[in-house]
Structure 1
Amino acid sequence: MNGGTGRSEGGRASGRTDGERVPGHTDSGQAPGYTDRERASGRTEDKRTPDKRTPDKRTPDKRTPDKHTPDKHTEDKRTPGRTDREQASWTRARLGRCGPPLDLLTACFDRHVYAPHAHDEYTVGVCVGGAEIIDYRGDRIHNGPGAIVVLAPGEMHTGGPANDTDGYAYRALYAGPALLTEGTLGGPPHFREPLIDDPELAAALRAAHTDLSTCPDPLEAESRLPWLLTALARRHSTARPAADDPVPGARGIARTVRDRLADELLAPPALADLAADLGLSRYQLLRAFRTTMGIPPYAWLAQHRVARARVLLESGLRPAEVASLVGFADQAHLTRWFRKVLAVTPATYRNSVQDPGR
């Protein structure tokens, strides 16, 4: 409320402060200027001249509102009652234990405009809301929900909201060139078109980004991100895909990887190291494991951990204790996977199996 407007609580101009007497008015309540005969006869109409500083109730206040105080009927064009959302958070994941880092960005902006800049890695982003404009390679890219944007290393770009009402939100990851060459031939891939329409891949990238931003498990990051980035390069770049012939000995490879993960569930080895031991690329190892087991390595290990957790919960241990004993990052990580596999929380399961009536 602006104190310089001179308005009263009712919205009308007031010529006095609380408790201030109106000039010419006595405390007795009798209007001055009448004779005794007039008072005796009861003819005492109030002859006082209305205070000119008090506007008539029927006369609207025509004063110009204070320009510094927005009118209460004026709302933000973007969303009524909403303040600016200028939020960004970074998460660093590692591709396998002691593996290279990979950064994940979660951003939601109303007005932020990036200065021209470049990255050393490929920028792979998925728009999840609003509308964004990106200046890149001399063109202006209009990006909306569900689209994938790929920006090459070292290439200048900028970005900002496409209009004044919607803002923009996106998820991005920053991947070294080697991650996009594992399933292709001929060096780093080139993307002729930075804007890619691939709903299935966009949904998979967004889901992986969300999960890893919540819990950046190294084995999960190494199982999911290289696989998705290889798919991106094989489907949409100029690079030639490597042959998709079955990996010789895939069943034996999968069993070897499975056994190593089970034996080292508290600190599982990096897939890149396992692949090197077997004379394979990481992409070949992932293909062999997925083809044989039907799921990626991190998902198999998570289910194996859940099976081990069930035994410990049945013995009476609490979920917080069990999580660390089977290799989950914390109780929340255990709970997430327990619900995926068994549809209940670890605490609910523990209480159920310990019920004397069962």
Structure 2
Amino acid sequence: MHCASSEIWHDPALPFVESRRACHSRACYKAHSHPTFSIGAVDVGFSRFSGAGKRQVRLTPGTLVLVPAQRVHACNPEPGTAWSYQMLHLDAQWLQQLRLEMGTPAADAGEPARIVRSVELYQHFCQLNALLFSDAGVAEKHAALVTFMGDHDFSAYPALEAAPIAPLGRSVLGQLIEHIEQAELAELSLDSLARQADLGRYQLIRAFRAATGFTPHAYLLNARINRARQLLRQGEELAEVAYRLGFADQSHFQRVFKAHTAATPGYYRTAGSPVLGLLCSPSRRFGAPTSPLPQVQRKT
């Protein structure tokens, strides 16, 4: 039986990108969203992607899934099985600027998730991620990332069911989200949110979930975890992060963080430097690349 292992890469010199790869993982995620554009790749095993309306999509080895910022989703192994995967997160504003530079359309709030079954794109993604986890220089990694995003038109791939249209007005929804993100966990009041939206409590929960994929409380937890990731990358102590974000105690923070990220806050804080080494031999991965990215050659 294989031992599960995972590693996370990030670099303060490249704050707009973070990557993760896991081998033989059985960990499962709660439904969540990121403030980033995310690219996932299935290396070994099979998983179920939820984020396409009410249905799930089965992902096979060599499949990529493209998840827009703020799209609620989860991707978990099939019951009783393990899988190996990679996940790349790109800051939404950084990507928006890159798209403007390239003259491609900017993302909108209803941008759909996409499933890509292309061996060539999967191999290029693996090559890029291997470079990010390597000891290559910052400039080389930055150039490879820009090149990869510029070389591929992700909008050409089939879209999954679009995100639901919010029954709440955009201004009302924006005000509710701002209120929730500024609230303390223990102080979030469903009554006050309902009054602010001029809706009954049940109507509010249904409308907010239709607009965001979350209940108001789940949205707050997800926002707190995304903020926690930022603070932990900056080296903040766990107890301080838990206190700043309004968790009851460090144990509560750890449970919620792990449910959303499949990693403990302590592991996440120390991950990324130094690089822990390759987890899965490339030869064991589906369609493993045998040559470097053609656009960015390593110097010898």
Q: TM-score, normalised by structure 1?
A: 0.40
Q: Which has the higher contact order (CA 8 A, sep 6+)?
A: 2
Q: TM-score, normalised by structure 2?
A: 0.47
**Higher helix fraction (1 or 2):** 2
